[in-house]
């Protein structure tokens, strides 16, 4: 893609001294609710007011949004508070209605980004407009679908673009609702360094207690903004109740975040350094996660050995692992000595675990 610099002009031209903030309820529920939250957010750092009008729910039967009626409420928000508005669009009819109601920014949801057909339909419907369009990552951890979504919009002539990182679904249960897989967001930045990248800690965590931490990691990784679901009475929200915060909590989160400003005293060196350090932190967390998983599997082997009354140490097997890992390590630029030391430590921990199991 050429001219990617112009894609972030919409954000740079805002001249913000803090990350871009998009906030508002998961869903528009009633006119009163939409306006109440908007008025509570009016004099804060919030730049765009969000509310879902058409709600893609995983299972039918849950609240599926108020539909086009909610667009009128968003128009009222703009008239009464001056805040710019945004909503999710998932087909050509949504785009047409959103344009008719002067919505300022449209985003494409994670369930739409998985389908090039839907993205193309939305891109075609947007042709010739100058709206800001943000593409959420697809629900599955597939960088190409995400990049492809941006490329299709770009081809349709959309010049004001951005991406939202909202985490990825996994079958495995984790502490996140959608695991962040930060390395995919980092790869996205490497491919499209000029496209504003916004983090959505609400859908990543599914839990309001973790929003500050995830937002901080995103800012440390040079994200350009945050989308945080905000509701005046989160526990009573009609969708995503556990992850929404009150407007005052949002203000507190913005205060607590360490926001790096590119001041004269902060050289490019420092910015690069802290970005690389944040990447290292992400990888170190993955290392611990992976080692924990390995140990669980090893515990399973310990249980089997106990049942069959087999010795914990199986030297043949261990020599095979070591040989294979030394070769693998070499291909990644890791010395034999390092691989040996590391695997000896891992192996020792496994033996300690299995000894405990066998003797229990």
The contact set with ligand PEP (CB under 6 A) reads 26, 52, 56, 109-111, 136, 166, 203
Cβ contact 336:326 at 8 Å: yes
Report the residue number, 177 or 302, with the smaller CB distance to ligand PEP: 177
Report the residue number, 110 or 158, with the smaller CB distance to ligand PEP: 110
Shortest approach of ligand PEP to residue 298 CB, angstroms?
36
Instruction: Give the single-character DSSP code of 27.
Output: B
Query: Residue 224 binds which one of Mn ion, ligand PEP, none, with CB within 5 to 8 A depending on kind?
Result: none
240 binds Mn ion per the rule CB under 5 A? yes
Report the residue number, 121 or 240, with the smaller CB distance to Mn ion: 240
Report the residue number, 56 or 116, with the smaller CB distance to ligand PEP: 56
Shortest approach of ligand PEP to residue 23 CB, angstroms?
11
Shortest approach of ligand PEP to residue 226 CB, angstroms?
13
Q: What is the DSSP string of 137-194?
A: PPSSS-HHHHHHHHHHHHHTT--EEEEEE--B--SS--SSSSB--HHHHHHHHHH-TT
Quote the tokens at residue 39. Answer: 């008025």
Strands 84-88 and 105-108: parallel
Report the residue number, 138 or 302, with the smaller CB distance to Mn ion: 138
224 binds Mn ion per the rule CB under 5 A? no
26 binds Mn ion per the rule CB under 5 A? yes
88 binds Mn ion per the rule CB under 5 A? no
Shortest approach of ligand PEP to residue 229 CB, angstroms?
7
22 binds Mn ion per the rule CB under 5 A? no
* Longest Cα separation, the chain: 76
Query: Residue 300 binds which one of Mn ion, ligand PEP, none, with CB within 5 to 8 A depending on kind?
Result: none
Scanning 7-15, 104-112, 238-246, 318-326 for contacts with Mn ion by CB under 5 A, the matching segment is 238-246
Cβ contact 83:77 at 8 Å: yes
Q: What angle do CA 280, 284, 286 make, to 5 degrees?
A: 120
311: CB partners within 8 A, 6+ apart: 305
Report the residue number, 56 or 193, with the smaller CB distance to Mn ion: 56
- Rounded alpha-carbon distances, angstroms, from residue 309 to 200, 274, 304, 357: 51, 51, 8, 11
Residue number of the CB closest to ligand PEP reads 109
Query: Residue 208 binds which one of ligand PEP, Mn ion, none, with CB within 5 to 8 A depending on kind?
Result: none
What are the two backbone dihedrals, phi and then psi, of residue 140, each rounded to the nearest 5 degrees? -95, 150
Shortest approach of ligand PEP to residue 111 CB, angstroms?
6
Scanning 24-32, 157-165, 220-228, 307-315 for contacts with Mn ion by CB under 5 A, the matching segment is 24-32
Query: Residue 110 binds which one of Mn ion, ligand PEP, none, with CB within 5 to 8 A depending on kind?
Result: ligand PEP
Shortest approach of ligand PEP to residue 107 CB, angstroms?
7
Alpha carbons 265 and 162: distance in angstroms, whole number: 29
**Alpha helices per DSSP H over the chain:** 9-12, 31-41, 69-81, 92-100, 110-113, 116-126, 143-155, 182-191, 201-205, 211-220, 247-256, 268-308, 315-331, 336-358
Exposed / middle / buried, residue 78 (Cβ in 10 Å: 0-12, 13-18, 19+): middle
Shortest approach of ligand PEP to residue 110 CB, angstroms?
4
Shortest approach of ligand PEP to residue 1 CB, angstroms?
24
Number of residues that bind Mn ion (CB under 5 A): 2
Cβ contact 215:226 at 8 Å: yes
Which residues in this chain contact Mn ion in the complex, by CB under 5 A? 26, 240
């Amino acid at each position: 893609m050429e001219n990617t610099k112009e894609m972030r002009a919409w954000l740079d031209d805002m001249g913000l001294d803090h990350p871009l903030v998009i906030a508002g309820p998961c869903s528009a529920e009633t006119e009163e609710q939409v306006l109440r939250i908007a008025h509570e957010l009016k004099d804060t750092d919030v730049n765009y007011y969000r509310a879902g009008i058409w709600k893609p729910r995983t299972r039918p039967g849950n609240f599926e949004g108020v539909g086009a009626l909610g667009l009128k409420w968003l128009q009222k928000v703009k008239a009464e508070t001056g805040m710019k508005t945004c909503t999710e669009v998932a087909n050509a009819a949504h785009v047409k209605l959103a344009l008719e109601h002067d919505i300022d920014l449209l985003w494409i949801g994670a369930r739409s980004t998985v389908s090039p057909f839907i993205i193309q339909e939305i891109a075609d419907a947007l042709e010739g407009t100058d709206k800001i369009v943000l593409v959420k990552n697809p629900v599955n951890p597939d960088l190409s679908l995400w990049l492809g979504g941006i490329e299709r919009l770009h081809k349709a002539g959309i010049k004001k673009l951005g991406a939202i990182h909202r985490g990825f679904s996994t079958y495995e249960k984790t502490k996140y609702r959608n695991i962040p897989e930060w390395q995919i967001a980092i790869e996205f930045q490497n491919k499209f360094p000029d496209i504003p990248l916004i983090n959505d800690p609400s859908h990543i965590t599914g839990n309001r207690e973790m929003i500050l931490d995830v937002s901080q990691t995103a800012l440390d990784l040079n994200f350009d903004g945050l989308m945080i679901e905000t509701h005046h009475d989160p526990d009573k929200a009609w969708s995503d109740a556990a992850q929404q915060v009150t407007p005052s909590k949002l203000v507190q989160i913005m205060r607590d975040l360490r926001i790096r400003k590119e001041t004269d005293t902060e050289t490019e060196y420092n910015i690069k350094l802290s970005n690389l350090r944040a990447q290292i932190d992400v990888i170190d967390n993955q290392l611990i996660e992976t080692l924990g998983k390995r140990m669980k599997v090893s515990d399973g082997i310990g249980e089997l050995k106990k049942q069959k009354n087999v010795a914990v140490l199986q030297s043949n097997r261990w020599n095979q692992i070591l040989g294979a890992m030394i070769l693998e390590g070499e291909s990644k630029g890791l010395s034999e000595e390092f691989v040996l030391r590391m695997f000896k430590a891992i192996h020792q921990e496994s033996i300690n675990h299995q000894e405990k199991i066998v003797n229990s």
